[in-house]
């Protein structure tokens, strides 16, 4: 994706790696899709409800001048919902990416080079997000192992 991406290296999650090694019949794409769905949901919730970075830090408010141009219903990173609607997951080989293909998505994540737009990180994971992903993975593997008679 061209805008802003969150990459998850599942090889660093020891518990997940051990489970995957023991469940060789589980197709990676199906598991990646389940993980991607969870991370996409977390990212959308962050934009729509939490209005904070993955570490819990609230996003900087609009400048007073810019705030005067906004109308009711608009909030940080949510004007016409283009960014929210653009959050997607892509699985390619052994890679899972969650992010946006919008040109300005990276500016929201990192801030503008000239400093006029502060960073408002919406991509990333905190400890709670990681625990949620592990719970989804555990459920997925449990279901698939049961179907194979391995649990």
Q: pLDDT of the chain along its 151 residues, tens only?
A: 666 777 766 656 666 666 666 555 457 788 899 999 999 999 999 999 999 999 999 999 988 998 898 887 788 898 888 999 999 999 887 789 999 999 999 999 999 999 999 999 999 999 999 999 999 999 998 887 777 565 5
**The total number of structural domains that make up the chain:** 1
Tell me the C-alpha distance between 61 and 38, whole Å: 27
**Residue span of the structural domain in which 130 resides:** 4-147
Q: Which contacts qualify for 49-56: CB closer than 8 Å, 24 or more apart? A: 51/75, 51/76, 51/77, 53/120, 53/121, 53/122, 53/124, 54/121, 54/123, 54/124, 54/125, 54/126, 54/129, 55/124, 55/126, 56/126
Q: How far is CA 19 from the centre of its chain?
A: 22
pTM for this entry: 0.80
């Amino acid at each position: 994706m061209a805008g802003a991406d969150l990459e998850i290296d599942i090889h660093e999650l020891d518990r997940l790696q051990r489970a995957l090694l023991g469940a060789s019949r589980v197709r990676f794409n199906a598991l990646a899709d389940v993980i991607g769905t969870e991370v996409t949901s977390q990212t959308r919730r962050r934009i729509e409800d939490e209005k904070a970075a993955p570490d819990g830090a609230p996003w900087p408010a609009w400048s007073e001048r810019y705030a005067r141009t906004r109308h009711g219903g608009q909030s940080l990173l949510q004007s016409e919902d283009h960014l929210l609607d653009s959050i997607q997951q892509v699985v390619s080989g052994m890679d899972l990416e969650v992010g946006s293909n919008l040109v300005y998505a990276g500016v929201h994540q990192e801030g503008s080079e000239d400093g006029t737009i502060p960073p408002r990180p919406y991509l990333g994971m905190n400890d709670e997000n990681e625990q949620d992903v592990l719970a989804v993975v555990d459920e997925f593997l449990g279901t698939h192992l049961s179907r194979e008679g391995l649990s």
